[in-house]
């Protein structure tokens, strides 16, 4: 069976199953896992599927659709913030990347850097897995399907076993009065672990979340070294007055 025949069968299988592992595809096509891995890389290069750790998913797979729709919200501002945040990453850095959509936006600006990424985000994994200069440490634990991310106590234990030069995180709410807040304890637990285990913490937050408080209060402003945002108004000035270093992207 030549490559074109294998490609047709791989894409047909993904149409039926949405996502498959290398070993499942090897069984379906009756060929070696090594051949499947090589084929998946080539097909992903053609933009016909998304390469994942251990397999592949169809381009329009719901595994990423919901996340990418969220990533598109306020996307011009998020792109500016993500690009500015990527400027803080240098060759040789070890960085934490959380599962937020703005942090995910950094990926396109990181692909020429020689770095190690520690993440709980499946979209980050899918975006960077085939970049030769980037080593990836995927955090293990319970998969939150809605967030396309790994959470839970095991994930926190995993993070506690490492140290990063920088952590890039997002929040659901940020205010001068209540600091950093999140929608759930699962999300706040992961972010808190990133904060504890990084030498420098950079918060990526667009203006829609500043001045707002969410359900779980999990960190003071003093935990953050730099806030990167997209606007400069009274709410941001209130954060500066509390001693937070603010960078305006754009």
Backbone angles phi, psi at 136, to 5 degrees: -120, 130
Residues with Cβ within 8 Å of residue 178, at least 6 apart in sequence: 213, 217
Domains and CATH numbers, the chain: 3-63 (1.10.10.10), 71-248 (3.40.50.1360)
pLDDT at site 52: 79
> Residue 29 above 80 pLDDT?
yes
Rounded Cα–Cα distance for residues 36 and 13 (Å): 13
3 state DSSP class of 127? helix
pLDDT at site 177? 96
5 and 41 in contact (C-beta within 8 Å)? no
The whole-number pLDDT of residue 66 equals: 59
Residues 84, 102: contact at Cβ < 8 Å?
Answer: no
**Dihedrals φ, ψ of 235, to 5°?**
-65, -40
Compute the distance between CA of residue 94 and CA of residue 141 in angstroms, rounded to an integer: 21
pLDDT number for residue 147? 81
What pLDDT was estimated at residue 98?
A: 97
C-alpha–C-alpha distance, residues 239 and 237, integer Å: 5
DSSP-derived secondary structure letter, 141: S
Q: Mind listing the pLDDT tens digit for each residue in 66-90? A: 566 556 655 788 889 999 999 999 9
The full DSSP string for 18-54 is SEEEHHHHHHHHTS-HHHHHHHHHHHHHTTSEEEETT
pLDDT tens sequence across 91-130: 999 999 999 989 999 998 999 999 999 999 998 998 898 8
- To the nearest whole number, what is the mean pLDDT of the chain? 90
pLDDT at 178 over 80: yes
- The position carrying tokens 């499946």 is 122
Q: What is the pLDDT of residues 131-140, one digit of tens each?
A: 899 999 999 9
Helix intervals (H) in 30-150: 33-45, 62-71, 75-86, 101-104, 107-110, 122-128
pLDDT classification of 1: cutoffs 50, 70, 90: confident
């Amino acid at each position: 069976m030549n490559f074109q025949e294998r490609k047709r069968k791989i894409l047909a299988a993904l149409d039926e199953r949405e996502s498959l592992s290398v070993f499942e595809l090897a069984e379906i096509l009756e060929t070696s896992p090594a051949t499947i891995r090589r084929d998946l890389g080539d097909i992903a290069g053609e933009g016909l599927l998304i390469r994942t750790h251990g397999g592949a998913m169809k381009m329009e797979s719901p595994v990423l659709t919901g996340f990418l729709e969220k990533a598109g919200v306020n996307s011009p501002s998020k792109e500016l913030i993500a690009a500015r945040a990527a400027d803080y990453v240098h060759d040789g850095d070890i960085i934490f990347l959380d599962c937020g959509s703005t942090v995910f936006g950094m990926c396109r600006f990181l692909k020429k850097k020689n770095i190690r990424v520690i993440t709980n985000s499946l979209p980050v994994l899918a975006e960077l897995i085939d970049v030769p200069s980037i080593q990836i440490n995927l955090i293990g634990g319970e998969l939150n399907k809605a967030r396309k991310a790994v959470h839970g106590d095991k994930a926190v234990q995993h993070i506690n076993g490492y140290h990063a030069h920088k952590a890039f995180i997002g929040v659901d709410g940020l205010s001068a009065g209540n600091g950093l807040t999140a929608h759930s304890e699962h999300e706040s637990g992961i972010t808190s672990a990133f904060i504890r285990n990084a030498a420098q913490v950079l918060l990526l937050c667009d203006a829609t979340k500043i001045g707002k408080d969410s359900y779980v209060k999990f960190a003071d402003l003093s935990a953050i070294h730099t806030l990167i945002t997209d606007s400069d108004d009274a709410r941001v000035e209130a954060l500066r007055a509390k001693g937070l270093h603010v960078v305006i992207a754009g």
